[in-house]
């Protein structure tokens, strides 16, 4: 399985074909998720084979955004089925990668550790210092992609609900990001006047 060639292909394809109004679901997001997945996967002591499946799923998880926004996970799976055989991936590996990608569909429903790691990697930013910058990229994207018309106040109210209900799946992500997420939630609460 030639991951390096697949990586170059996917990143170039995203760069050249994603709609320009995707301020969040863009090549830097994919690179960020791949990096987080690899870091968490190594800390979870995944085998090299499982780490390769995880990295590939992270790489392909938003490729469907090229064709459609709302059901992009299924489109991403279709993209993986179309292109991964050309990089030496077996049918069994592609099925597993597809299952991992589908776990990221909201609400996230991972069924194995590799899927849990990708789900945590996809939302890693919730517990990071750059949360607000990344969050506003998503808000801007929603304004253009799905004509999202919430005010900034309404956005923060929804973010309050989302961060309050979100839980990281892996112990590694909880140890690395939960406190940061709670800090970000506290800042949102202060903006909303919630004590």
Q: Quick check: 1 pLDDT over 90?
A: no
Average pLDDT for 63-82: 96
Q: Quick check: 172 pLDDT over 80?
A: yes
Q: What percent of the chain has pLDDT over 90?
A: 94
Q: Quick check: 34 pLDDT over 90?
A: yes
pLDDT band at 183 (very low <50, low <70, confident <90, very high): very high
| Per-residue pLDDT, 194 | 87
Tell me: the pLDDT tens digits for 40-51? 999 999 999 999
Q: Quick check: 195 pLDDT over 80?
A: no
Q: Quick check: 149 pLDDT over 90?
A: no
Q: What is the pTM of this model?
A: 0.95
pLDDT band at 148 (very low <50, low <70, confident <90, very high): confident
Domain spans, the chain: 3-192
Specify the fold of 3-192.
Catalytic domain of cyclic nucleotide phosphodiesterase 4b2b (1.10.1300)
| Per-residue pLDDT, 146 | 85
The alpha carbon dihedral of 136, 55, 97, 100 has a sign of: negative
Average pLDDT for 117-125: 98
């Amino acid at each position: 399985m030639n991951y390096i060639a697949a990586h170059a292909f996917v990143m170039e394809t995203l760069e050249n074909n994603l709609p320009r109004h995707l301020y969040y679901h863009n090549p830097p997001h994919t690179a960020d998720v791949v990096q987080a997945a690899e870091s968490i996967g190594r800390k979870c002591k995944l085998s090299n084979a499982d780490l390769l499946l995880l990295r590939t799923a992270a790489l392909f998880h938003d490729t469907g955004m090229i064709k459609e926004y709302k059901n992009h996970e299924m489109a991403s799976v279709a993209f993986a089925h179309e292109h991964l055989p050309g990089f030496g991936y077996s049918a069994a590996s592609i099925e597993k990668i597809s299952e991992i990608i589908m776990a990221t569909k909201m609400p996230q429903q991972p069924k194995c550790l590799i899927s849990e790691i990708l789900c945590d990697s996809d939302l890693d930013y919730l517990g990071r210092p750059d949360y607000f910058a990344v969050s506003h990229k998503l808000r801007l994207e929603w304004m253009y992609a799905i004509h999202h018309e919430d005010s900034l106040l309404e956005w923060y109210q929804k973010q309050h609900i989302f961060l309050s209900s979100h839980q990281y799946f892996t112990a590694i992500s909880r140890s690395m990001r939960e406190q940061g997420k709670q800090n970000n939630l506290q800042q949102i609460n202060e903006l909303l006047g919630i004590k």
